[in-house]
Structure 1
Amino acid sequence: MKFAISSLLLVASTLGMCGSASAESTLRMAHLWPAGSVVNKKIFQDWAKQVEEDSNGQLNVEIYPSQTLSQAGKTYEAAANGIADIAVTLQGYTAGRFPLTEIVQLPGVVSSASQGSCILQTLYNEGDIAEEYSDTRVLFLFTTGPAYLHSQDAEIQKPGDLEGLRIRRPSSVAGEMLSSMGAQPLGMPAPDIYTALQRGVMDGLSFPWEAMTVFRINELVNYHLELPYYAGAIVATMSQSSYDDLSSDMQDVIDKNSGMKWSRVAGRVFDELDRKGREEAVAQGDTIHVVEDPLSDPDWAAPLKQGSRNYLQSLEERGLDDAGDVYEKALALGERCQA
């Protein structure tokens, strides 16, 4: 009997690492970032801790990082289908699933993660993109900072330098732009990139500085082009059925920890990681080229603008007649969110 009681206490203690063993509900959160990453610790673990505190231990959040509960490309559907209670993923992993959201990823919209997060969350709050998430309950949305081009051996300075290079694309939208400049876009989840570079499967990639340090890619590349042609959109969302199963008091806790507050937290974390990622590259002596104003640059303006036009036109052809309006609003919000 003593052994049995001791075993039960050990189990209770282990559960207590994530929350109360007597929790009303245990919520499983799935995402792709490494367990030891700042993103996991400063956004998702802090969010979980706040929810647990606000619920007085009634809600217990179990975090499954590094695709351990769901593969990155299926994480959103995992929440929609109730496989995960909470899912965090990049919308770009499910091509065409969030067409209006991906407008935020176009060149010239996002200048920093904090600003981009504000833009994306505002578009959701004001109903411009909310319909795309009608099958889940969105907690908060945010973006990465601008994504740049990074390569191992090929120095990229002009569009022609991309000819024939195998470049990991973060989304179909970015991939089309890379293709138009002669690159060979490759699609794969962020956690797989390190091994692909090691094995020579790709020549380079498109990543914000944040991801270069989180996924240790700086270790493997030598050249960087700061061409802000893309930004990653990210959603933290909850299974609607999991939310509905909570008591009204616990639903209030989730609602309290949703929206712009946590969007801004995530943006600040990503901004700091962008700074760290760039400092790493400088410290190891990498070559960094900077395109100050890509939409006015004589070499880059034409392909970037054409890429944006092509994407917006493709949405209109799908019957999304408000695509142009959402794009213009995102640009306008950029100035408002910069403050």
Structure 2
Amino acid sequence: MSRLPRINTYISFGLAILSGMTTLTLSTAAFAEDNLRSLTVFPSSDATAQLYERFVKLVNERGKGKIKISVVGGPEIVPGFQQTEAVARGSIDMTYAPISYSLGSMPEADAWVGSNLPPSVQRENGGFALFQEIAAKRLKIHVLARFAPAAPLNVFLINTPKFKADGEIDLSGLRLRASPLYNAFFEKMGATPVTIPVPDVYTGLERGTFDGMAYPPSAMEGWSWDRFLKYRIEPGFMQSDLGIYVNPTKWAALSADSQKILTDTAVEFEGSSYKEWQDVTTTMNAKFDKQGMKAIVLEGAARDAYLKTAYDSVWNRLKASGSPDYEKLRAHYFAD
């Protein structure tokens, strides 16, 4: 009996096994779960960090078997101001942080701070896409979404505020705890900005190191600063600039399904967090008022002048940076 048919049989059987293994490998690859390691710029106790955790949980539920985000830590892993750069380098896949931390490299970050429109408007008018393009070019990151923009700043004071003869608020001569985002506003109002880390604010208020501060009411829960701050100036101004950023190489490597789940969930949270943070702001202010804080409500020309000074301080800074996108960003993000 010839051995050739038997050899051919062995070869055919071997090829069949190899084909099956290849099919199994391809099938496994096709259904491999995308995994992203994420940081947050704030500790888990922070209210905005908890918002991000809710986003992550929903992505993981919707993307079960397709995509999974693992929050591996916060500023104890990588300092907050370095996290966006870490995403760009690929040291971490994504993070949740203020875009203004990169203001030195991307002056256009001021468009988020100086906006007075809901994020849905920028999605519709092309402003968000433009912002994505700028961030990809300047910071080498993919901007997925912005969160909780409806968290305006209010000025809080220890003592009764002064007013000018024309009814405008007078902050001249006051020392106010500030950040680089609104130092220019305080200086324009005649106040002296004081740089103090958030964890040290309570001690500063207790010792009278400064006369007041600007901060989102929605983010003041748990700090007990309202023990010293007895006056709140209304209206609030500017917007928070929290966003989600993904390494572009990692983003490109995600499956189409994973990209869609991430984007759809982020856009959903972008809208819901806008409404949610409006409600949180209202709730916190009502709590402060009940505890005895007095709201100083500016109206008419005094209100207009106050807001103009606040927003101009941001947009003038962006214009002075020489950004070629200043005009387009202002048109997309600000309603005069």
TM-score past 0.5 threshold: yes
The TM-score bracket by the shorter chain reads 0.7 to 0.9
Q: Is the 8 A contact 2:226 2:288 kept in 1?
A: yes
Separation in 2 of the partners of 1:156 and 1:79? 46
Separation in 1 of the partners of 2:319 and 2:251? 34
Q: Which residue of 1 aligns with 2:285?
A: 278
1:95 paired with 2:100, answer no
1:179 paired with 2:187, answer yes
- The 1:69/1:157 distance shift into structure 2, 3 A limit, reads farther
Q: How does 1:34-183 map to 2 (within 5 A)?
A: 34-41=43-50, 43-57=51-65, 59-63=67-71, 67-106=75-114, 109-110=115-116, 115-122=117-124, 127-134=129-136, 135-142=140-147, 143-153=149-159, 155=161, 161-172=170-181, 174-183=182-191
Separation in 1 of the partners of 2:134 and 2:99? 11
Match of 2:251 among 243, 257, 277: 243
Q: Which residue of 2 aligns with 1:318?
A: 321
Q: Is the 8 A contact 1:30 1:70 kept in 2?
A: no
- The 1:195/1:330 distance shift into structure 2, 3 A limit, reads same
Separation in 2 of the partners of 1:125 and 1:160? 33
Give the AA of the match of 1:118.
S
Give the AA of the match of 1:75.
Q
Separation in 2 of the partners of 1:198 and 1:118? 41
Q: Which residue of 1 aligns with 2:27?
A: none
Q: Which residue of 2 aligns with 1:268?
A: 275
**Same amino acid, percent of matched pairs:** 20
Separation in 1 of the partners of 2:212 and 2:132? 34
Matched residue of 2:239: which SS?
Answer: strand
Q: Is the 8 A contact 2:152 2:238 kept in 1?
A: yes
Separation in 2 of the partners of 1:124 and 1:188? 37
Structure 2 runs not aligned, ≥5 long = 1-31
Q: Is the 8 A contact 2:37 2:72 kept in 1?
A: no
Separation in 2 of the partners of 1:252 and 1:228? 35
Q: Report the more deviating stretch, 305-314 or 92-101.
A: 305-314
Structure number with greater Rg is 2
- The 1:313/1:38 distance shift into structure 2, 3 A limit, reads closer
Give TM-score scaled by structure 2 length: 0.74
Separation in 1 of the partners of 2:86 and 2:157? 33
- The 1:188/1:89 distance shift into structure 2, 3 A limit, reads farther
Q: Which residue of 2 aligns with 1:29?
A: 39
Structure 1 runs not aligned, ≥5 long = 1-21, 335-339
Give TM-score scaled by structure 1 length: 0.73
Instruction: Count residues in correspondence.
Output: 298
Cα RMSD over matched residues? 3.3
Separation in 2 of the partners of 1:153 and 1:176? 22
Q: Which residue of 1 aligns with 2:6?
A: none
